[in-house]
C-alpha cells in the first residue's frame, strides 16, 4: 500500500464560524485549534499546513468555570527591570476580549513556524458580526 502525501494544490480549505457566546473558553479553543491544524481531515499530515480558516465571534461573551474570572492571570513583561504586569481574566475580558481567545488557541498550536502560519488563519471578533460573509463560512458547534 502506498502512502499518499497531499500536495498544496490538492488541499481543500473551508471557512468555519464558531460562536463563543456562553461557551467555555477551553472548548472553543480546542475546537478552533483542531480545525486550524486540520486534524479532523482523514488526510491529515502533521508537517503540512492543511487546516481550515476559523472565525470566532462573540469573544467578549466567552466564559470560564470556577474561580478563574478572578484567579486566572495573564502576565506581560515590558522589558524594563521589575516591570512584570499582570491582569486577571475578568480585567482582560473587559480590556481586550479577543486576546483571551487568541491566547488560548495559540497555546494549542505547534510552537514553530507552522504554528505561526496556522495562527494567521484565525480571525477573532468581539462582536457578533464579521467581514467574511463572502467566503460563506459554515457554522460549527462547540459541544
pLDDT at 4 over 90: no
CA distances to 44, 50, 52, 114 from 72, rounded to whole Å, are: 34, 33, 30, 28
Would you place residue 61 in the very low, low, confident or very high pLDDT band (cuts 50, 70, 90)? very high
Q: Which helix (H) or strand (E) segment is 54 a member of? A: strand 53-57
Report d(CA 138, CA 135) in Å as an integer.
9
Arch. (CATH architecture) of 14-138: Alpha-Beta Complex (3.90)
Which pLDDT belongs to residue 3?
85
CB 25 within 8 A of CB 58: no
What integer best gives the mean pLDDT of the chain?
95
Residue 56: what pLDDT? 98
Nearest-10 crossing angle of helices 97-106, 25-37: 50
Residue 109 has pLDDT above 90, yes or no: yes
Q: Which residues pair with 75 in a beta bridge?
A: 86
Cβ atoms within 10 Å, residue 127: 11
- Percent of the chain past pLDDT 90, that is, above it, reads 91
Secondary structure (3-state) at 87:
strand
Round to whole Å and give the CA distance between 37 and 115. 8
Amino acid at each position: 500500500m502506498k502512502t499518499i502525501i497531499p500536495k498544496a494544490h490538492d488541499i481543500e480549505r473551508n471557512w468555519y464560524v464558531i460562536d463563543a457566546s456562553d461557551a467555555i473558553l477551553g472548548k472553543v479553543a480546542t475546537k478552533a485549534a483542531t480545525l486550524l491544524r486540520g486534524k479532523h481531515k482523514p488526510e491529515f499530515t502533521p508537517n503540512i499546513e492543511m487546516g481550515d480558516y476559523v472565525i470566532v465571534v462573540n469573544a467578549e461573551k466567552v466564559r470560564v468555570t470556577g474561580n478563574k474570572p478572578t484567579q486566572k492571570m495573564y502576565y506581560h513583561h515590558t522589558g524594563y527591570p521589575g516591570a512584570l504586569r499582570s491582569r486577571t481574566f475578568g480585567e482582560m475580558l473587559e480590556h481586550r476580549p479577543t486576546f483571551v481567545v487568541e491566547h488560548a488557541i495559540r497555546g494549542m498550536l505547534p510552537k514553530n513556524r507552522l504554528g505561526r502560519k496556522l495562527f494567521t488563519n484565525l480571525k477573532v471578533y468581539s462582536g457578533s458580526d464579521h467581514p467574511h460573509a463572502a467566503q460563506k463560512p459554515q457554522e460549527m458547534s462547540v459541544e
